[in-house]
Amino acid sequence: MSRRTLPRRPPQPLPIPAASLDTRRDTVSGGIVTHLSRRQAIGTAGTLTLTAATLTTGLAATPAAAQHRPRHRPGTGPAPLRRAHAHNDYEHERPLLDALDHGFTSVEADIWLVDGQLLVAHDAVDLDPARTLEALYLDPLLARVRANGGSVHAGHRVPLQLLIDIKTAGDPTYRELSRRLRPYHSILSSATATRVHTRAVTAVISGDRASRLPMTEERTRHAFYDGRLDDLGTAAPASFIPLISSNWNSSFRWLGEGPIPPAERRLLRDIVGRAHAARQRVRFWATPDTPGPARDAIWSELVAADVDHLNTDDLAGLESFLRSGADR
């Protein structure tokens, strides 16, 4: 996904010189894929390989995210906001927890398969061995759901969407992810060929499209697939593709200045209508996210069209917008 500078604690980066990186636009997910040079990394079936010394240094230098504590006591936090999606959530000072404190019900984490570990970062230069998917998301969520009697948001039976954007090769990365999700089965929604069991957290897999095949091969999945507009109206059911995501700029030219063109409004509502008829949710990335009237106009149009997830890096801004009565 596109990147916006956010305040965050300094990472303990892996020693990969920026000059050795080749950054290219990911046309599938809208993100940035940074490719390591052959001298800096050895790619094995889509994984990145680092030295043991580097891993040890990084682990010792960075505190585990699981040690972070929410600012609200159980039962005292804000009511959850069903449309609020935290894009690049891991770049906030307190990944996951800041979004939950603002009432968000969907968070996004980019993952890289590195020496068998799933590290969370936007770019390869930011990889930190202590910032694993388990440490930043899965372990804190497990503890929170247990403390709240089965809910992410205390007192509210609203599932949290954990959108996991795969940055390395989809097939091997998903297979490792699937293995690592299993110990958290008690909090994760799951699916078989005939049934979906909704639990406190629903993992949805985005990013590299090669994750789709190994997902279809599983008899029991603890994750679901993030579809694209060309998945609308296909045979793939909502039990496999519950979410349809798209780059806003691929379908729309309106960026919030002046009224939305009637043809674009009709297109937006047609997309949402088709998805909802198939029991699928809708999310657009790359919508304007600079505070101001244009962003408010975009958000208002998305709410009016019943788009399910509003994408932002500005947690306080979206919370204020939605709690002001915009989402009624």
Return averaged pLDDT per consecutive 10 residues of the chain, 328 residues in all: 49 40 35 34 44 37 40 62 97 97 98 98 96 98 97 95 98 98 98 96 98 97 98 97 98 98 98 98 98 98 98 98 87
Give pLDDT, residue 326. 78
Q: Which domain holds residue 265?
A: 228-328
Look at residues 170, 196, 221 and tell me which one is the last residue of a structural domain.
Answer: 221
Residues pairing with 108 in the sheet: 163
Give pLDDT, residue 325. 84
Question: What DSSP designation does 87 have?
Answer: T
Q: Are 205 and 225 in contact (CB under 8 A)?
A: yes
Q: Are residues 102 and 135 in the same domain?
A: yes
Q: Are residues 96 and 155 in the same domain?
A: yes
Question: What's the number of domains the chain is made of?
Answer: 2
Q: Are residues 20 and 167 in the same domain?
A: yes
Q: Are residues 86 and 211 in the same domain?
A: yes
Alpha-carbon span 206 to 191, nearest angstrom: 17
Closest CA to 13 of 68, 70, 55: 55
Alpha-carbon span 105 to 86, nearest angstrom: 8
Q: Are residues 94 and 16 in the same domain?
A: yes
Give pLDDT, residue 50. 52
Asked if residue 210 is part of any domain, the answer here is: yes
Look at residues 189, 221, 253 and tell me which one is the last residue of a structural domain.
Answer: 221
